[in-house]
Amino acid sequence: MKGRRLVVSGDDFGAAPEVNAAIVLAHRDGILTSASLMVTGDAAADAVTRARAHPTLAVGLHLVLAQGRPAASPAAIPLLVDRDGWFGDRPIMNGFRYAAAYLTGVGRVQLRHEVEAQLEAFAATGLALAHVDGHCNMHLHPMVLRILVELAPRYGIRALRLSREAAWPALRHDRTHALRKVMEGAVFRALAAAATPQLHAAGIATVDRVYGLHQTGRVDERYLLELLRVLPPGTSELYCHPGERRPAELARYQAGYDHAAELAALLSPRVRDAVRVGGIELVSYRDLVGVPALASRSRNAS
């Protein structure tokens, strides 16, 4: 019988010290295997330092194209940013904006420039790129995904989070925001269906299924215990947002998130026992594709 493997990822690594500390603690003493780095986050340098001190933590790029600042100069990407030089706060509106920009030669160049700037910033950390995902899942925007696939050989993108999750199982756990969850489920199923053949053709790995989309900010102990009990065979990913407390840098975007409860769930002895008793192997994308802990050579090396 096919075994059960689970990637447990902490998003927003680099956003704030309290997020960084929680991710490292959940990796060292809990079930978390991976982190997704915001290279333009206020605490990105601290996150890189912590990651270097914990080489078993797999780190990927958390591509930021909403609710944050760019890696490129705002003057170089005026079609993507507001008058203050930041990305817009509303991911859906940003998505329409980027689609319109991509249809023009200038906008296409600007979007590629920003994606490449964030990949360059990650490469400069010296960490090996375990995977790519996106803040608010903006990495699955069709135009952004196309750019990531084009840049994959140069930057060593070998795995990517293919976010999609059925709404009905999630609603059995938590019926709040039911309409939003149903709509999210439909949208991300469509985006994943469009992305899958491109990723397969490019040799970019994905897992069989992803959890956390409909429970974002509320991945508590009860949710984890239920998920582990019914986790299907194959390789799955759970992504979450642990923190010692709600980071001020993200509070305006993450109303209702319970970062501390997510950290407690990742550290829970009951959760760790459920993993052990269930015979679930905790892995990272780095394990799945054989990426080393640190970048071993330049991205431009032949």
pLDDT score for 297: 44
Answer whether residue 234 is part of any domain: yes
191 Rama class: left (phi>0) / alpha (psi -120 to 50) / beta: alpha
Answer whether residue 254 is part of any domain: yes
Q: Tens of pLDDT along 150-176?
A: 999 999 999 999 998 877 677 677 777
pLDDT-wise least confident of 7-11, 44-48, 119-123, 185-189: 185-189
d(CA 214, CA 191): 16
Q: Give the best-scoring range by mean pLDDT among 114-128, 209-223, 249-263.
A: 114-128
Q: Tens of pLDDT along 81-105?
A: 999 999 999 998 999 999 988 888 8
Answer whether residue 182 is part of any domain: yes
Q: Spell out the residues 6+ positions from residue 253 whose beta carbon is closer than 8 angstroms to its own.
A: 67, 89
Q: What is the model's pTM?
A: 0.92
* Number of folded domains that form the chain: 1
The CATH number of residue 88's host domain is 3.20.20.370
How do 34-37 and 209-211 pair as beta strands? unpaired
Answer whether residue 121 is part of any domain: yes
Region 221-245: what's the mean pLDDT? 95
| Closest to 81 in 3D by CA, of 112, 103, 108, 114 | 114
pLDDT score for 109: 96
Strand partners, 8: 238
pLDDT score for 128: 95
Region 140-154: what's the mean pLDDT? 96
* Cβ–Cβ under 8 Å, residues 296 and 156: no
What's the domain range around 238?
Answer: 4-289
117 is written with which tokens? 């700037």
Looking at per-residue confidence, does 168 or 13 come out higher? 13
Answer whether residue 53 is part of any domain: yes
Strand partners, 132: 61, 160
* Cβ–Cβ under 8 Å, residues 139 and 132: yes
Answer yes or no: is pLDDT of 302 > 50: no
